[in-house]
Amino acid sequence: MPRKVNYGLDYDDGYDDYDDYDDYEDYANANDYGVKEKDLFPFPEVTEKPSWNDRSTIKVEKKTTKLALWQCSVCNSDNEQSSSSCDICGVLRDPAQNIGNGSAENVRGKCKDSGASIMAKSLFAQSPCQRPEKAIISDEFVRESSNKPSEKAKSQASFDELQKIFVASHQGHSLSIAPFQFNTLSPDDMVSVGKISSKKSSKVSANNTGKKAIAKFSATNEMAENSSGIISGANQLNGSESGNANIKSDAPQILASDLHQMKLDKASTNFRKAKPLAEYKPEKWMLANQDGILNQLNLAVVGHVDSGKSTLSGQLLHLLGRVSKKEMHKFEKEAKEKGKGSFAFAWATDESAEERERGITMTVAVAYFDSKKYRVVLLDSPGHKDFVPNMISGATQADAAVLVVDASIGSFEAGMDGNGFGQTKEHAQLIRSFGVEQVIVAVNKMDTVGFSKERFEFIKSQLGNFLRSCGFKESQITWIPLSAMENENLVTSATDARLSSWYEGSCLLEAVDSLQLPVRDASKPLLLPICDVIKSHSLGQVAACGKIETGAIKNGSRVLVMPLREVATVRSIERDSCPCSVARAGDNVAVSLQGIDGVHVTPGGVLCHPDYPVTVASRLELKILVLDIMGPILVGSKFEFHIHHAKEAARLVKIVSLVDQKTGEAAKKTPRFLTAKQSAIIEVALDRAVCAEEFSKHRALGRAFLRASGCTVGVGIVSKVFSDES
């Protein structure tokens, strides 16, 4: 099964607070730290928030439930009569009002949600699939144990404990209100016209942002011996019910002490002077080609909530033999029993009980499949607005992306909503900001619009304009009409005459194969931003997961674990769930470490070469582009600051200058506040230090995002690092 990336405690996912998604008001009024908007400090108060009920033009849907609720025709969620659009997926009640072209007639009467029967048809009509030699990820022990109530209770206890500490340590943070639109230049564009230039160079995909550094637990006792153990341990605590097995009864105490020790204690750091980069000479083994081994391609699947990302991922994995017929049959049966028959494919990646119950993805799932050219690392991201930070953390590893859009009437339009509710736009803007240049737009659910060419062309023109405005080149965008549910145009050409009559392009799998691999830089010192940590407290073992941005490692390599500057030795490496002795730039790996206390390995940290430590700083100068925010950003404004997989509370301490977007030159004028679409150089102070580098030195560690009140308010690059050592 796919590995779930664990985010530990997330600023945004106070799961307990979000139990009731229908209660939009409650959580719309609480910021990421649980502080009410009225208490917020920096942004001027926004009296009117965009409301779903404002859409006066919307007609009332005829279909209502007994309890005066209406059911969303796309995600089947029940919504209150007063809501004019679905609280979960944002689909309007009367889609016909929003049709952008004349395709309504084409789609009338078509089934929007094919449900289990069509799924079953497509499932069992497949030619027999080979069960993969290795499960994508498996650890029966973990799954079995995690179902035991006693173990769940322990996991929950530790989670609660963590949450208390975390909330206590973050009290007083406040955020600003700033809905925005994404029709502005990407940071790469800013950089390309800016002084801190990065000539069009190859890069090891972009990076940014992440999550709170929180320890996780591995359930495995065999991490070192059994390579699958490393990854399988990722079925850990994620704040939901996917609690862990094997957590000792003292876990809360351990976690508590972990959390406290995570604070940078400079006095106890193992300071080692960095060598000049020019002195670095890679060893021969680092650069050697791996004959016969497929290159890894990190592919993020992103898009608006309910667009079908997980269904697409699950269907692909099933068609390519990574999820067996038996497993699919089980998913189908269980999903049907729970009244979620149409989500059966999504269950392949939506593993937690909470995700399945709600029918939404909450954390990124990592799965693997082979195409002709690549070993694809599939990162199925959450589409819901509340989980954008999780999406950011997973998708920063992407070399390329599949942007899934829902072709059905009203749903595509909901994804394009510019008021912070349309994640098609937000995700597209974000992935471009991560440095992703190649995107496949999977226009999904074409079955719901009768595979209408007009609808496809309409979506292509609308979204195409937006993608170009984000900085995607026309030649780097591939458009594929498909139906994940009905298995049309995924791994083979379309068979439905309604599609094949007008579409002759490649299917999704062929499009994946036609993606170009970004140049990997194994010749530089090691840099591996830690996305995920798996720990076995009983054995004192720890594994760090993430994508190697530069350099290479092998078993026995010495690595420096930042920001706590602990040296460790690589005990074993796992790539694609298989053990390997060497891993190079671009590889997504789990690295088991020895000689280090697991407390010192945290998500958001970085593994690097002992002689070339990454910079640690709590004050940074950023060159940012302000997105379409409503109110101004003032000195003193507080944000969630994201950089690679690290996330930290930050405060704007200085606006250095505005930047002329045409020349990239700093303007003389120093404004007192920033407004939408302005480019500026600013200084931010972080509550705690993070690993960061100037963008010109390390792209992956030099991209930053500022978020507030659940919206991305600025994207940018690190232009100066005020190192804590200096």
Residue with tokens 């912070």: 420
Question: 5 or 659, CB closer to ligand GTP?
Answer: 5
Per CB under 6 A, does 227 bind ligand GTP? no
Pick from ligand GTP, Mg ion, none: which does 112 bind, CB < 5 to 8 A by kind? Answer: ligand GTP
Question: 376 or 528, CB closer to Mg ion?
Answer: 376
Per CB under 6 A, does 385 bind ligand GTP? no
The closest alpha carbon to 516, from 582, 586, 576, belongs to 586
Q: Which part of the chain contacts ligand GTP (CB under 6 A), choosing from 107-115, 123-131, 250-258, 273-281?
A: 107-115
Structure-token pair, residue 101? 């072209």
Per CB under 6 A, does 647 bind ligand GTP? no
Q: Which part of the chain contacts ligand GTP (CB under 6 A), choosing from 109-117, 238-246, 597-605, 621-629?
A: 109-117
Among 484, 544, 590, 601, binds ligand GTP (CB under 6 A): 484
Number of amino acids touching ligand GTP (CB under 6 A):
27
Q: Rounded to 5 degrees, what are φ and ψ at 27?
A: -85, -15
Taking the C-alpha atoms of residue 64 and residue 17, their distance in angstroms, rounded to an integer, is: 27
Residue type, 715: V
Question: 23 or 39, CB closer to ligand GTP?
Answer: 23
- x/- map, 326-365, Mg ion, by CB under 5 A: -----------------------------------x----
Strand partners, 711: 708
Q: Which part of the chain contacts ligand GTP (CB under 6 A), choosing from 301-309, 329-337, 424-432, 471-479?
A: 301-309
Among 6, 73, 84, 114, binds ligand GTP (CB under 6 A): 114
- State the minimum distance, in angstroms, from the CB of residue 346 to Mg ion: 6
Residue type, 121: K
- For 122-132, b/e burial (b = at least 16 CB within 10 A) is bbeeeeebeeb
Helical axes 309-319 vs 325-337, angle rounded to 10°: 150
Taking the C-alpha atoms of residue 648 and residue 670, their distance in angstroms, rounded to an integer, is: 26
- State the minimum distance, in angstroms, from the CB of residue 149 to ligand GTP: 27
Per CB under 5 A, does 216 bind Mg ion? no
- State the minimum distance, in angstroms, from the CB of residue 364 to Mg ion: 10
Pick from Mg ion, ligand GTP, none: which does 87 bind, CB < 5 to 8 A by kind? Answer: none
Residues ≥6 apart with Cβ < 8 Å to 433:
186, 187, 188, 206, 208, 703, 705, 715
Pick from ligand GTP, Mg ion, none: which does 575 bind, CB < 5 to 8 A by kind? Answer: none
C-beta neighbour count of 247 within 10 angstroms: 27
Among 216, 309, 619, 698, binds Mg ion (CB under 5 A): 309
> What is the CA 596 to chain-centroid distance, rounded?
28
Among 32, 37, 222, 306, binds ligand GTP (CB under 6 A): 306
DSSP assignment of 168-214 equals HHTTT-----------S--HHHHHHHSSS---S---S------B---
**Which residue is closest to ligand GTP by CB?**
383
- x/- map, 595-624, ligand GTP, by CB under 6 A: ------------------------------
Site for ligand GTP in 345-364 (CB under 6 A): 346, 360-361
Residue type, 463: L
Question: 2 or 229, CB closer to Mg ion?
Answer: 2
H helix runs in 21-148, sequence order: 24-28, 104-107, 115-124, 140-146
> What is the CA 630 to chain-centroid distance, rounded?
25
- x/- map, 442-461, ligand GTP, by CB under 6 A: --xx-xx-------------
- In this structure, the strands spanning 616-626 and 679-691 are antiparallel
Q: Rounded to 5 degrees, what are φ and ψ at 447?
A: -60, -30
Instruction: Give ∠ CA 144-148-153 in degrees, rounded to 5.
Output: 135
Pick from ligand GTP, Mg ion, none: which does 484 bind, CB < 5 to 8 A by kind? Answer: ligand GTP
- State the minimum distance, in angstroms, from the CB of residue 704 to ligand GTP: 25
Q: Which part of the chain contacts ligand GTP (CB under 6 A), choosing from 110-118, 142-150, 151-159, 183-191?
A: 110-118
CA distances from 122 to 49, 328, 443, 451, 488 (A): 43, 11, 19, 17, 9
For residues 5 and 378, the answer to whether their CB atoms sit within 8 Å is no
Among 305, 316, 320, 543, binds ligand GTP (CB under 6 A): 305
Q: Which part of the chain contacts ligand GTP (CB under 6 A), choosing from 38-46, 269-277, 284-292, 439-447?
A: 439-447
Residues that bind ligand GTP (CB under 6 A): 75, 112-114, 305-311, 342-343, 346, 360-361, 382-384, 444-445, 447-448, 483-486
By CB under 5 A, name the binding residues for Mg ion: 309-310, 361
